[in-house]
Structure 1
Amino acid sequence: MYIESVAHKDGTPIPHINGMLHFPLARYLIYLRKSTMVRGGRREPTTVINNFKHLKILFDSCADMSVRFDRVTYEVHIMALKKALKENGVQPQSINAYYRSWRAFYDWCEANSIACFIEFPPKSQVQPECQSGKSIIAVHTSKGRVGKADLGLESEVSILDYKDVVLSNDEYLQLSSILSAIDPVYDYIGYMMVTTGLRIGGVVQLPLGSNARNPGWLRYPELKAKGVPFQRLIYLPKGKKRLLKCVVLTEALKRLHSEYITGSRKDRLKLFSSRYPGEIAPLWLTSNGKRVEFHDIWDAFRAASETLGRKITPHHLRHTYATFVVYHYFKAHGLKPNLAYAHDIHEALRIQLGHSDLEVTKRYIRTVIGTEADAWLPLLTPHVGQVIQESMPAHVLASVVRFFESSPDA
């Protein structure tokens, strides 16, 4: 029998098997919800729920193997589960998140004198920036301090830039055209992503007008009348821990208003109202009058990827937004792209994208630098008959501009 759960009023999952409370998992989840974290503060309900989901994967696997959780061994059961997850296409980052939750649970069991067979691999003393080839060793430590590397973790590819997932100006226009052919609503959704940096979960929260979360939200005609360049959207981000704000440009809402809200959405709204009488329609509606769901957006991007011959996901547009912001920052200030300016750029991106990791901002800067390097290398490569000239920088600049900006005849 597999573990299920019901939610306590404070959000803590209450695990049970066929109605019978499961110990010690129930006690452990209560401990997570009630205890104080090392860095201070209590865990959010979403964090506890995610821990339960990770542990459910393990406990359900135990049920499939007919083994009790306290009889699990690392060599036989954990390794088999990790292998099965990899074969099913689960990424190393996700497997490591599951693994950390499993290990934390068994560490808690040991601390509470709950006897279990399992012995996890030892943790070795390493520097936090220790790397091996293109993989980085996961280290449980604060920045700049010697920490412990968990040898049970999968190797994760160290991402230095987003060059492979950022769309050039022309590539975005191609994607836009294909999404529009599938259904214009997906083109408008993509447009709002690439002009805000929002994930799918954020862009589907864009309101048509004022609502409970955004009581001051203005439609485009009102923004135009006030002469303001943007307004801030309050939304619930990935992880659903706390509300965030991001800037939504009036110019972006102008296109949304003129082409979609006062255009094709009118007929879609009639279909929605006939299907769901009395229900308030969301902003995003499909051509048959149904609410646009997450999987609809993913399906549209998969279909567009097949046409383009290149895999493009909605998240590519978030990286594209951030990289273009960085490019235009350097251009506006007359600066050559350099990591030394990371802290200056980071503050703006941190607020808009809702992330706090400076390394992510550095990746966007490296993406801009890498675009310039790609333009330089063919000109500087020896033994191919290339003549080095002082006028070369202009050619490089033109190549970089073509990537980020519209061509004059576009």
Structure 2
Amino acid sequence: MYIESVLNSDGTPVPHVEGKLHYPLANYLIWLRKTPMKKGGYREPTTISNVFKHLKMWFDFCFDQNISFDMATYELHLQPFKKLLVSKSVQPQSINGYYRSWRGFYEWCEEQGISTVMSFPPKVEGKENFSGRSRNFNSRTTGRTLQIDPGLETVATVLDYKDCILNMDEYARFSEILAEVDPVYGSISYMMVTTGLRIGGVMQIPLGSNKLNPRWLRYPELEASGETIQKLKYLPKGNKRVLNCIVPAAALKKIHYDYIVGHRKARAKVFSERFRSQIAPFWLTASGKSVEKNDIWEAFKKASAKFGRRVVPHHMRHTYATYIVYNYFKAHGLTPNLAYAHDIHEALRAQLGHSDFEVTKRYIRTVIRTHTDIWLPKLTPHLGQAVHREMPSEVLAAVIEFFEPYSDQGEE
């Protein structure tokens, strides 16, 4: 039978099969909750919930194969399951996350003396290297010796986000397609691309004041106050600490008229008729249902098919950050250079809610790569074109055209 779960009072899942606790999975989740991590502190309920979801996938697969988890093998069962996930276009990073949960569980079973026939490949020593492609490295210290797990999928090292951003023209077209799926998704993507918030952060934008944001103003009130921004307090993934994010008044204005006035009032009425004892959430579908994370992913998937290019919600965050970096250099009259990474990192860190300096450098490299992609064909020998001193201005114009396709039209 398939494994189900209920939530304990501390927010962690309690696995069961038809009402009976599932052992040893229940004991493993308790162990995760009660045992400190090597780096200190305890795992958040969200982390343990994700581990349960990964293990549920595996246990359910074993059930479909008519085999118990303790009799499943790496070669005959786990590897075919990974190949099945690949065939369904599951990303390597996601598969690696599942794999780590599976391996962690079986290693715990071995430590507890629970007999299984699962045998994972031994880890081997290797050195981290950010040049070219990377297998599965977690450490961020270049050249550091670490244990490499051969069972992990190969993941390309990300040096920039050039393939994950949309220029203004592209975003406008994609947003229109999203709105055709449902206007609510067009508004959600707009909040992402103007704030850099992840899905979880955008889902926490309130209609009015709430516990985390007791002074939150609706747009008409914000307009009357004359403020140009409003600070949103929200819980990031993992719910470890409260973060602050600047939300421009201009973005709230568009959401107010396009979504709140244009659609939400009618949807909230439908929601109240369906769920009389509940307060309508901010984001609602046309049927009056609360928008869930998987709804947003599905909407992006549908819009991508029509757009002709795969776009996922996180691309909105990359687009936002890249434009911040581009406009930073433009405002200061600077040529994109990693030497300015520290200053830009300080500007982005609070807004994006991350402290990873390497991520900031990727955004700068994205702008640099845009320049490079335009420069190289002009400088490549044997193509017949002449190299002249006016080229820098031509390249700059082409870069501006990429980031600001509407700029020329606006001057007419």
The answer for the alignment partner of 1:126 in structure 2 is 126
Aligned letter for 2:283?
A: W
Structure 1 CA distance, aligned partners of 2:276 and 2:112? 55
The answer for the alignment partner of 2:308 in structure 1 is 309
Superposed displacement of residue 374, structure 1:
1.5
What is the TM-score with the length of structure 2 in the denominator? 0.89
Residue aligned with 2:372, SS:
helix
Show CA shifts across 1:32-51 (max 9, x none).
10111111001111111111
Whether the 8 Å contact between 2:230 and 2:248 is mirrored in structure 1 is yes
The answer for the alignment partner of 1:159 in structure 2 is 158
2:35 matches 1:30: no
Show CA shifts across 1:345-364 (max 9, x none).
22332322223322222221
Whether the 8 Å contact between 2:130 and 2:157 is mirrored in structure 1 is no
The answer for the alignment partner of 1:321 in structure 2 is 320
The answer for the alignment partner of 1:54 in structure 2 is 54
Aligned letter for 2:137?
A: V
Instruction: Mark the CA change 1:367 to 1:105 in structure 2 (over 3 Å): closer, same or farther.
Output: same
Structure 1 CA distance, aligned partners of 2:150 and 2:66? 27
Q: How many residues are paired up?
A: 408
Instruction: Mark the CA change 1:234 to 1:340 in structure 2 (over 3 Å): closer, same or farther.
Output: same
Whether the 8 Å contact between 2:72 and 2:117 is mirrored in structure 1 is yes
Superposed displacement of residue 288, structure 1:
5.4
Aligned letter for 1:366?
A: R
Written as runs of structure 1 = structure 2, the 5 A alignment for 1:42-121 is 42-121=42-121
Show CA shifts across 1:109-150 (max 9, x none).
22223333222211111112266x53x122355624311111
What is the TM-score with the length of structure 1 in the denominator? 0.90
Structure 2 CA distance, aligned partners of 1:208 and 1:351? 23
Aligned letter for 2:26?
A: A
The answer for the alignment partner of 1:14 in structure 2 is 14
The answer for the alignment partner of 2:212 in structure 1 is 213
Show CA shifts across 1:205-251 (max 9, x none).
22121123321101223323333321211223334444332110112
Superposed displacement of residue 400, structure 1:
1.0
Whether the 8 Å contact between 2:44 and 2:238 is mirrored in structure 1 is no
Structure 2 CA distance, aligned partners of 1:63 and 1:273? 40
Superposed displacement of residue 290, structure 1:
4.7
Whether the 8 Å contact between 2:135 and 2:156 is mirrored in structure 1 is no
Instruction: Mark the CA change 1:385 to 1:54 in structure 2 (over 3 Å): closer, same or farther.
Output: same
The answer for the alignment partner of 1:398 in structure 2 is 397
Show CA shifts across 1:137-183 (max 9, x none).
22355624311111111111222211112111211222234444554
The answer for the alignment partner of 2:248 in structure 1 is 249
Instruction: Mark the CA change 1:288 to 1:104 in structure 2 (over 3 Å): closer, same or farther.
Output: closer
2:169 matches 1:170: yes
Residue aligned with 1:390, SS:
coil
Superposed displacement of residue 270, structure 1:
4.9
Structure 2 CA distance, aligned partners of 1:20 and 1:288? 36
Superposed displacement of residue 295, structure 1:
4.8
The answer for the alignment partner of 2:137 in structure 1 is 139
Structure 2 CA distance, aligned partners of 1:37 and 1:3? 26
Identity among equivalent positions (%) equals 59
The answer for the alignment partner of 1:282 in structure 2 is 281
Residue aligned with 1:234, SS:
strand
Superposed displacement of residue 287, structure 1:
4.7
Whether the 8 Å contact between 2:6 and 2:14 is mirrored in structure 1 is yes
Structure 2 CA distance, aligned partners of 1:142 and 1:313? 26
Structure 2 CA distance, aligned partners of 1:104 and 1:295? 27
Superposed displacement of residue 54, structure 1:
1.5
Residue aligned with 1:335, SS:
coil
Aligned letter for 1:123?
A: K
The alignment yields a C-alpha RMSD, in angstroms, of 2.5
Structure 1 CA distance, aligned partners of 2:183 and 2:59? 44
Residue aligned with 1:409, SS:
helix
Show CA shifts across 1:258-309 (max 9, x none).
4443445445455555555565333334455554444554454344334433
Structure 1 CA distance, aligned partners of 2:292 and 2:48? 26
Aligned letter for 1:339?
A: L
Structure 2 CA distance, aligned partners of 1:288 and 1:377? 51
Aligned letter for 1:101?
A: S
Whether the 8 Å contact between 2:200 and 2:237 is mirrored in structure 1 is yes
Whether the 8 Å contact between 2:164 and 2:315 is mirrored in structure 1 is yes
Whether the 8 Å contact between 1:130 and 1:137 is mirrored in structure 2 is no
Written as runs of structure 1 = structure 2, the 5 A alignment for 1:384-395 is 384-395=383-394
Residue aligned with 1:408, SS:
helix
Superposed displacement of residue 365, structure 1:
1.1
Structure 2 CA distance, aligned partners of 1:266 and 1:101? 43
